[in-house]
Structure 1
């Protein structure tokens, strides 16, 4: 997994977009969805290429994770997810997939 260093989530998002990660994914329980591409990906349908964690400067609970994601069919995009008490509720399979990107 390739790693770059970014000072903010916005910096990571801008660079990922420049490098071809142009779709915006949303977590929807047991899948990732991209309304703009009418795309739905189950955990087996995508790979997490890169992951970056950021903590809020004034509030550690205000933290986020930026994922660079590739689908098996070649689409590339980003997922931004809060962690801590604002994290989305996802399926066990999706949680395991996202967590595996940290190791």
Structure 2
């Protein structure tokens, strides 16, 4: 896994991942990640790249850009903002995403 803590912008991070073949747009659902090809539980995807973007003047401008690859081979991007995770989301999904941020 490649972790980059500082990247110029969120857009640059997404462009870098798109150039690497991460073409799907993943979104968080309560119990899974979803994209145009389906839904994926926590055991059906891996995080291959993470870019942390820190807002210069406001902590609420922070974002994390994830490069996600499903076990079925679909590659895509997930972007989350600061404090994006909610109580209704699956703990397993949130833990999987946040474990890399805690390193």
- Please indicate the TM-score interval, normalised by the length of the shorter structure: 0.7 to 0.9
Matching of residue 23 in structure 1 with residue 24 in structure 2: yes
Q: Residue 7 of structure 2 contacts residue 52 of structure 2 at CA under 8 Å; is this kept in 1?
A: no
1:22-101, aligned counterparts within 5 Å?
Answer: 22-34=23-35, 36-37=36-37, 39-84=38-83, 87-89=84-86, 90-101=89-100
Give the TM-score normalised by structure 1.
0.87
1:2 CA displacement: 2.0
Aligned length: 99
1:88 CA displacement: 3.1
Which SS does the other structure have where 1:53 is aligned?
Answer: strand
1:58 CA displacement: 3.1
Name structure 2 gaps, 5 residues minimum: none
1:83 CA displacement: 1.7
After the TM superposition, which segments of 4 or more aligned residues of structure 1 sit over 3 Å from their partners? none
Give the TM-score normalised by structure 2.
0.87
